[in-house]
Amino acid sequence: MRKKYAIAIGGASGSIYAKNLLNRLKSIDSQLEAVGLVLSDNAKFNWQFELGNTDYENYGFKIFDKGDFMAPFASGSANYDGLIVCPCSMGILGRIASGISDDLITRTADVMLKERKKLILVPRETPFNLIHLRNMETITLAGGIICPAVPSFYNKPATQDEIVMTVVDRVLQLAGFELDTYRWGGN
C-alpha cells in the first residue's frame, strides 16, 4: 500500500538529515502516493547555510508555505499516514507538546496525534534540558515517536552520508516503509 506523508524540516541544525531523508524518499517512490513538504523559516536559512544551496526546491515534492492551513495534511480528512519532522527544533517540539497549532507544521502534528497517525520527531539538539525531556515525554505519551538524530555504527559507516543514513533509515522504518538497509543480525 502506497503511503501519503507530510515531511517538515525544522530549524535545528542538521539539514544533512533532511537532505538525505528527501533523497531516500525519492529512491522509494514506488511506496509513495503523496509527499507534502513544509519548511520553517529557520530551516530554509540553515539548509542554505549548512549545505550551500536551496536544493529542497528540486525534489519534485509539493512545497507548502508554513502558513498554509489549506494544505491537505492540515486536516485529518485527507487521510495522510503521518508526519516526519526532521530535523526537529526544540521550539517546534515544545509547541507540539503544548498543543499550540500556530503554523502548518504544528497543526499537522496536532492532526496526526488526534487521528492516531504516525508522528515522528527527529530532534537534533544536545544536551537536552529538563524542559526538552518533559516535552518529549508528553509527545510520547500522546502517541508520538521521538527518534533523536543519534547515529549507530554497527554497519561501520565510512562517510558522513552513511552515518546520517543510519538515522534516516531508522526513521523511515518507523514510518512503515520497506527498505534495503543494514539490520542487526542481518546483512
Q: Tens of pLDDT along 132-148?
A: 999 999 999 999 999 99
Residue 61 φ then ψ, to 5°: -80, 140
Hey, what CATH class is 3-174 in? Answer: alpha beta
Q: What is the pLDDT of residues 90-107, one digit of tens each?
A: 999 999 999 999 999 999
Query: Strand, coil or helix: what is 84?
Result: strand
Q: What is the pLDDT of residues 27-44, one digit of tens each?
A: 999 999 999 999 999 999
Would you place residue 1 in the very low, low, confident or very high pLDDT band (cuts 50, 70, 90)? confident
The predicted model gives 19-25 an average pLDDT of: 98
Q: Give the whole-angstrom CA distance, residue 93 versus residue 95.
A: 6
Q: Are 87 and 47 in contact (CB under 8 A)?
A: no
Predicted model pTM:
0.96
For cell 549548512, the residue is 50
Q: Are 92 and 98 in contact (CB under 8 A)?
A: no
Quick one: what percent of the chain has pLDDT higher than 70?
99
Would you place residue 184 in the very low, low, confident or very high pLDDT band (cuts 50, 70, 90)? confident
Q: Give the whole-angstrom CA distance, residue 102 versus residue 183.
A: 39
